[in-house]
Structure 1
Amino acid sequence: MDVVVLTVDQDESRSGSDQVPAALASLADVPVRLAFERTVGDEFQGVLDQPAAVVSALEALLRSGEWNIGIGVGQVETPLPDQARAGRGPAYLSAREAVTRAKSSPWHVRAVGEGDGVRALESAIWLWAALLARRTPRGWEVADLVDEGLTYDGAASRIGISQSAVSQRAAAAGIAEGRRARELVEYLTRTALGGER
């Protein structure tokens, strides 16, 4: 069974507070095969098989900017265990290698697995991460409202500013480009997992 194993380690955890509980809470609504859980220290892991779920998890982690993210793409042994940390297989080994590499990589994220599609996926994630990193809290506020389905007019009413101001925030935050990047990452994840999902 082809899946994505995410192994995530807190960046500079020795100089800050434990962010794992907050991260696990932010990922609680992401559909998974095996739920995210702490594995050891400031690290946690989850197993996903749906491209849209992988994208949701990555966006939450990239948004905080506090994580080394290892993406392992490939097979896992079946039947799956009850807990992510008990799983085995090439995707787990790839995720371990990826999180180690992530510590010295752009945007602290790496993807490892078989096939050319994994490198393309990693490249797209780096570009998406660069875009998300430039968003301010005001830009995220607009992006979140648009993701809820509001128009710029609706977002303006909710925030209490003009539609023009919302448009300016959206442009500065790269909301249109971010949507395209998210679509590309989802498509490349699907490709890396072998096609239709």
Structure 2
Amino acid sequence: MFVITSDQRDSRSSADLVPSALTSIHAKGHQGLALAPERTAGDEVQVAVADAGALLEIVLDLTRSGRWSVGVGVGEVESPLPDSVRAARGEAFVNARDAVDRAKKAATRVAITAPEDGGDAEALVRLLVELRDRRTAEGWEVYDLLAEGITQREAAARLGISEGAVSLRVKSAGIRTEEAAVPALVRVLARLSPGPVPD
């Protein structure tokens, strides 16, 4: 099982981002959530995730804004699962607490604590987050359009720019590199937690 504990950065001097984070986690997690996300303490959000793909999607969404420290804990969770994540217990929750504490000190704002091999997964996720952190507003504009499933030609038409300009943005933003990295990262993450490893 995966547990994400996320703490809002600089929450005392900014708006409460927890409600929007809860909505986003529900949307990104799809059917991969084991326990629904909840506010657990002040400006902190916690969620239990059963699926590695959903986990990575949530982590990338939370780290995109730069407003969250994101800790991922891997390990066993006591069963049967309770109705609320706040009532759940187990190794994954302890590891998530360790991870979020380390994430607060990391430049990429993310950390992973697992019984074994967590360091490899953490390093690779941090590489991807660092790539995304370097993306410009124009790069994100193209990324978001392509994420809708449209072609680069269609993105160019929507933006009123040439296909060549879109291609340059795609290259500069590392979008194709991210597309190739995500499935590999999902497989790495899936190996940390018991269960089938995706193809």
Give the 5 Å matches for 1:106-145: 106-116=107-117, 118-145=118-145
Higher relative contact order (CA 8 A, sep 6+): 1
Asked whether the 8 Å contact 2:63–2:69 carries over to 1, the reply is no
The CA deviation at 1:133 is 0.3
User: Any conservation in 2 of the 1:4–1:74 contact (CA below 8 Å)?
Assistant: yes
Q: How does 1:107-186 map to 2 (within 5 A)?
A: 107-116=108-117, 118-186=118-186
Secondary structure, in 3 states, of the residue corresponding to 1:196?
Answer: coil
* Fraction of identical pairs, as percent: 42
Contact 1:124 1:181 in 2 (8 A): no
Match in the other structure for 2:8: 10
The 8 Å contact of residues 72 and 112 in structure 1, kept in 2 or not, is answered as yes
1:24 is aligned to 2:25: no
SS in 1 for 2:26: coil
Query: 2: distance between equivalents of 1:136 and 1:79?
Result: 45
SS state at 1:37 partner: strand
RMSD: 1.3
Asked if the contact 1:76/1:92 (under 8 Å) is kept, the reply is yes
- Report the Cα distance in structure 2 between the residues aligned to 1:184 and 1:148, rounded to whole angstroms: 21
Partner SS for 1:186: helix
Rounded Cα–Cα distance in structure 2 between residues aligned with 1:194 and 1:158 = 44
Tell which deviates more after alignment, 83-92 or 136-145.
136-145
Letter in 1 for 2:80: P
Task: Give unmatched runs, 5+ long, in structure 2.
Answer: none
TM-score (norm 1): 0.94
**Higher mean displacement: 81-90 or 145-154:** 145-154
For residue 145 of structure 1, what is the amino acid of its counterpart? L
- State the distance in 2 between where 1:191 and 1:125 align: 14
TM-score if structure 2 supplies the norm length?
0.93
Q: Deviations over 1:116-163 (max 9, x none)?
A: 2x1111001110010010112221121122222212112112222211
**Structure 2 partner of 1:49:** 50
Query: 8 Å contact 1:124–1:184 — kept in the other structure?
Result: no
What is the distance in 2 between the residues matched to 1:128 and 1:163?
26
Superposed structure 1 runs of 4+ greater than 3 Å apart: none
